[in-house]
A and B are shown apart, each in its own frame.
Chain A
Amino acid sequence: MNRRTLISASAVLAVAALTATSLPAQAAEVGVSSTSITLGMTLPMTGTASPGYNKIPGAMKAYFDYLNANGGVNGRSINLKVEDDQYVPTQAVAKTNKLILQDKVMALLAPLGTANNKAVAASVNPARRGVPVLFVNTGFSGFADTKKYPTTYAILPSYVMEAKIMAQYIKDNFAGKTLGLVYQDDDFGTDALKGFTQAGVTFAAKVAYASGSQSATTAAGWVSKLSAAKCDVVILFGVSSATAAGLGTAAALKYAPQWILGSVGGDATTIKAAGVPAGVLYNAVGASFAPATTDMTDDYVKLFSDIYAKAVPGSAFDNNVLIGMNTAFVAAQALKAAGTNPTRASLLAAIDSKGSTFASAALLPLNYSKTSHVGYSGYWFGKYSPTGDLKPVDGKYVLYTTDSGSGAVVKSTWTRPAMPAKGLPQ
């Protein structure tokens, strides 16, 4: 064989590879068979952004397995196909293409990451294909825009909302104190800055860190700057590894301001697993929209942690797991509401019309309607106990709610309805 032949051969190989596809038989609705519904998910399972997030598929599958063992949704079991995108948009697009075009999933569930979801929206264009994109796993406020992303539903409160609510909490409780902020220099952090600025909060020290640079060493720099500016109250609005680094280093440097932890990085279980002593967390303020993961008096927490412990023994039940299982629960209800012969269109219509009545573990309602794809829109504040668990102040959940725009922050009077029997969609 000579060189020219090899070059031609490789070209032929390429052609063969591209044409070697078998098209599966057409189903009634894409991803729906008489016995199952297939959903697809992309998120970082490996790579630097994966720690913590790579527990989510296991959590969701734990709930879906439990659901399937109890009859599934209208007699169909729910299958979740998970693809690793390593937090790179090119891979997110490639894997989403595989899920939609090859695996023929009915809908995408909880795809993770702002840049990734934007790339998928721009390239794969699920809206044009009519593919529902359920409950995106990001707090970027833009995805709730029904004109830009007509088939996409947000679920997490946006970072702007959280910043505004935090600003209100600070005004109510720490007026006049010197404020400091540690934030990540990407959409996560800048979205929050927008919210703080809008609420008129001024910081004596604003410390940005490059995403991926958070460590004990860089945290020492943050603490130095914060203490030099004599901040009494410091908001840590970063991811868990940043929060852990910040808290641990500050303790080592005997700097103890009043900490306020953002929800993304505020999970007590993750922080303690990263080696931060419970005593350091004690009395820090934290925010969440779901019950605390250690609150065994809560029906949802008890049920979900039971299910998870049986499905993935030895793995800690942290916030990523609780929120993951909750999202799976909400998705299951959406599929049930889509009817006995669900289609993509009926799924979208079901969320629009009935979404606001879906049961969920969160202490705030879902805001779905024909004109709103916003999920949760608020937080409650608590303090970490001496054992480092987040508990509501005075044992009562006080919920604040707002929007991602210029709306005011108000206290919510909503009470969560009782959990449906066995935590299954009714």
Chain B
Amino acid sequence: MIQFINTILIGLTSGAIYSLMAMAIVLVWRSTRVINFAQAGLALASAYIGYQVMQSVSNYWVALIVAMFAGAALSALIEIAFMRLLLKHTSSGPIASVAPIIATLGLLGIIKAGIAMIWGGQDVVVKPPLSNTGFSIGTHTLVFSPMKLAIVISVATLVLVFSVIFQRTNIGLALRASAFAPEIARLAGVRVDLVRTLGWALSGAAGAVAGLLLTSNGNGSFSPESMEFSLLLISGFIAAVIGGLESLVGAVIGALVLGLVTSFVLMYISGSLFFIAPFVVLLLVLFIRPQGIIGVKAGRRA
């Protein structure tokens, strides 16, 4: 019984972290119709900035907030300096779908190489602020700790905040309008370019939090080549696709589904299926609903 509960808890925690990355991907997709592979690289860079802050200030939460702003700033910078140029040159033809992927992959490579050159390839440690010792129920220990609780709460808060921004505020409306029909939004007075940059900034912030929380889920150590960050990218993307790429809620649901299913497969079937499980989940979901769980079927333009 306790194993079952633990499996759920493990899945929920990892799903929560992936959901931040999935949200970041959906945010960029919805505002620019681009899948930003560099997102994980930005998350990594933000985590390193958090580490640097920890070296001087020694307060995790301060570091987290600085990292968040750094992630937002870096992401906005990339949108302004890079993506606009890219989309101008490659707006049509088959290259249009492939070019942003390649370009953001290139960006990912540059960020990773840059980090390794500045901080070196060995592990650095950001000590998690809360204990990772599991809560006890009688003689059993749950795979849930104050730190993991904090992670889940942080994620839930961010999801709520982002949803409110998107659904309830004028800025959110402007964001959605700029993605859906940029020309019309411009005519309505929306500063489309600015709004797009904002979308990227929000995405960068979400990614930064995902990155730092990811390290706190364990020992707090990471390096440019950390397994966890490569997995973050891939899992975040797959989760976003499962959820439908169209809504933040979808991203969260997709991530939770991915986290839970993977957790069950690993626990009850075999640990070696770690890389195969996401593929199977994805195939199943897309087979039943090709537009993802909460996706919207694109209308046919007659």
Which A residues are within 8 Å of any B CB, using their own CB?
Answer: 46-48, 50-51, 54-55, 185, 207-210, 212-225, 228, 241, 244-245, 248-249, 251-255, 273-276, 315
Q: How far is the CA of A355 from the CA of B273 in the complex (A)?
A: 43
Q: Does B170 contact A (CB under 8 A)?
A: no
Is the CB–CB distance between B271 and A213 below 8 Å? yes
Chain B residues closer than 8 Å to A315, beta-carbon distance: 122
Is the CB–CB distance between A51 and B273 below 8 Å? no
Chain B residues closer than 8 Å to A207, beta-carbon distance: 271
Q: Does B116 contact A (CB under 8 A)?
A: yes
Is the CB–CB distance between B123 and A254 below 8 Å? no
Enumerate 7 A-B pairs (CB-CB under 8 Å) in ascending A order: A208-B271, A213-B271, A215-B218, A218-B271, A221-B266, A255-B141, A273-B221
Q: Does B132 contact A (CB under 8 A)?
A: yes
Chain A residues closer than 8 Å to B136, beta-carbon distance: 254
Is the CB–CB distance between A51 and B3 below 8 Å? no
Is the CB–CB distance between A46 and B116 below 8 Å? yes
Q: Does B92 contact A (CB under 8 A)?
A: no
**Chain B nearest CB: distance from A151 CB in Å?**
32
Chain A residues closer than 8 Å to B221, beta-carbon distance: 244, 273-275
**B13 (CB) vs chain A CBs: closest residue:** A217
Is the CB–CB distance between B219 and A210 below 8 Å? no
Chain B residues closer than 8 Å to A224, beta-carbon distance: 3, 6-7, 10, 143, 267
Chain B residues closer than 8 Å to A223, beta-carbon distance: 143
Q: Does B172 contact A (CB under 8 A)?
A: no
**A185 (CB) vs chain B CBs: closest residue:** B272
Which B residues between 1 and 42 are near A, CB-CB below 8 angstroms? Answer: 2-3, 6-7, 10, 13-14
Is the CB–CB distance between A276 and B219 below 8 Å? yes
Is the CB–CB distance between A254 and B272 below 8 Å? no
Is the CB–CB distance between A215 and B141 below 8 Å? no
Q: How far is the CA of A55 from the CA of B143 in the complex (A)?
A: 35
Q: Does B227 contact A (CB under 8 A)?
A: yes
**Chain B nearest CB: distance from A422 CB in Å?**
30
Is the CB–CB distance between A248 and B218 below 8 Å? yes
Q: Does B289 contact A (CB under 8 A)?
A: no
Is the CB–CB distance between A275 and B127 below 8 Å? yes
Q: Identify the interface centre among A215, A224, A249: most chain B CB within 10 Å of its CB.
A: A224
Which 8 residue pairs across A and B have the least CB separation, nearest first? A216-B218, A275-B219, A213-B274, A185-B272, A210-B274, A252-B132, A209-B271, A275-B221
Is the CB–CB distance between B143 and A216 below 8 Å? no
Q: How far is the CA of A192 from the CA of B136 in the complex (A)?
A: 35
Q: Does B263 contact A (CB under 8 A)?
A: yes
Is the CB–CB distance between A218 and B266 below 8 Å? yes
Q: Give the residue of A209, A214, A274 whose beta carbon is less than 8 angstroms from that of B123.
A: A274
List 8 extra interface pairs beyond A217-B14, A220-B6, A273-B123, CB under 8 A. Answer: A50-B225, A209-B272, A209-B274, A210-B271, A215-B228, A252-B131, A253-B143, A273-B221
Chain B residues closer than 8 Å to A225, beta-carbon distance: 3, 267
Is the CB–CB distance between B272 and A210 below 8 Å? yes
Q: How far is the CA of A209 from the CA of B269 in the complex (A)?
A: 11
Is the CB–CB distance between B219 and A254 below 8 Å? no
Q: How far is the CA of A253 from the CA of B227 in the complex (A)?
A: 22
Q: How far is the CA of A244 from the CA of B222 in the complex (A)?
A: 12
**Chain B nearest CB: distance from A216 CB in Å?**
3
Is the CB–CB distance between B134 and A221 below 8 Å? no
Q: How far is the CA of A51 from the CA of B230 in the complex (A)?
A: 14
Q: How far is the CA of A99 from the CA of B230 in the complex (A)?
A: 31
Chain A residues closer than 8 Å to B143, beta-carbon distance: 220, 223-224, 253
Is the CB–CB distance between A274 and B121 below 8 Å? no
**Chain B nearest CB: distance from A308 CB in Å?**
14
Q: How far is the CA of A224 from the CA of B270 in the complex (A)?
A: 13
Q: Does B220 contact A (CB under 8 A)?
A: yes
Q: Give the residue of B7, B219, B272 whose beta carbon is less than 8 angstroms from that of A221.
A: B7
Q: How far is the CA of A252 from the CA of B132 in the complex (A)?
A: 5
Is the CB–CB distance between A51 and B225 below 8 Å? yes
Given A54-B121, A212-B227, A245-B218, verify A254-B271 contact (CB < 8 Å): no
Given A54-B121, A210-B274, verify A274-B219 contact (CB < 8 Å): yes
Given A210-B275, A252-B145, A276-B219, verify A221-B10 contact (CB < 8 Å): yes
**Chain B nearest CB: distance from A180 CB in Å?**
13
Q: Does B223 contact A (CB under 8 A)?
A: yes
Chain A residues closer than 8 Å to B284, beta-carbon distance: none
> B141-153 vs A: 1/0 string, CB under 8 Å?
1010100000000
Is the CB–CB distance between A215 and B219 below 8 Å? no
**A52 (CB) vs chain B CBs: closest residue:** B122
